[in-house]
Structure 1
Amino acid sequence: MAKQKFRINNWAAYNKALVNRGSLIFWLDDSAIQAWYDEPKTSSRGRPQRYSELAISTVLMLKRVFRLTLRAAQGFIDSIFTLMNLPLRCPDYSCVSRRAKSVSIPFKNPTHGEIAHLVIDSTDLKVFGEGEWKVKKHGQEKRRVWRKLHLAVDTDTHEVICADPTASSGRLLASGVC
């Protein structure tokens, strides 16, 4: 199927739409702001938890959505609170790391669904590196470096289900995407 071509008639609106792709807006409900810090419980032993499960799950959700590390998520959320002039602080990355085990966040993992047809193919890949410069400078050498890549592709969605590279000797280099 050929790629569809669209004619753009309104360039101002098109440019504005492209700029708005990078726009980011956050809303925090008043009840979420009030529930950010945990109420101290006097009946349990040990130091009381400062942040509620809502705070921990929010940090973990934003970490996953934006593919951030815990430290980067902490800085990201603190900067959002600063921009919104909210007197809140993000939980420390070590606190989030410890409490992530006890907080369950329902994420929908992408499912492949039922795969009716799977195409498996392997192809050779030429490895480029310092050898290419040497070939240009000194001429062709007898040995070349090649790797083999094994691919498994769903025929309906054209999605790569598995990719495993192997060395030229046939041994597995990495445990691919399977």
Structure 2
Amino acid sequence: MIKFVKLRQYHLEQVMRWRTHPNVTRYMFTDIEENMDHQLSWYTKISNDNSQKHWLISYNDRLIGVVSLNDIQWEHSRCSWGLYIGEFDVKLIGGLIAPHMYQYVFETLKLKKITAEVLGKNEKARKTHLMHGCREVGVYKNHIFKYGEFDDVYLYELMDYEWQEKRNRYVHLKTEFEE
């Protein structure tokens, strides 16, 4: 069973280990250093920001990764989101997270649109967005310079009415988001 546990300060060391692992950071727009002071500063900043929400993904009572809503714009009824799986023996679970997020964003928060940005080299994430109903709405060419080369950034979106057409596929979901 998948649950979403609110990010708390005592999770920060685990999150930092995941986030700095080469299998995670290669798909992130930025790299971070292993520095608990910086991690704590980041946590303090996001904890006081109502335009962000962060959870740890729990799969069968095991913490396996992080998912977040970002740039929540209540006045425009939209947000963006992202995730990473830090436990690589269960990395395929990442492909199951999107419907939970869509259910939460559209049915709990009552937002109208969710967006995502994905590095071009992250082909599995790009396919996952399309598989769960997002539309690819554009690409920023040579947008991120990382590890000595440029990479494209693909843009995805899903509207609430598009989710309503697809949600019957996911009625079995029992999504729990800790607030």
Structure with the higher fraction of residues in helix conformation: 2
Shorter-chain TM band: under 0.3
Calculate the TM-score normalised by the size of structure 1: 0.27
Higher relative contact order (CA 8 A, sep 6+): 2
Q: Return the structure number with greater strand share.
A: 2
Q: Please report the TM-score for the alignment, with normalisation by the length of structure 2.
A: 0.27
Rg larger for: 1
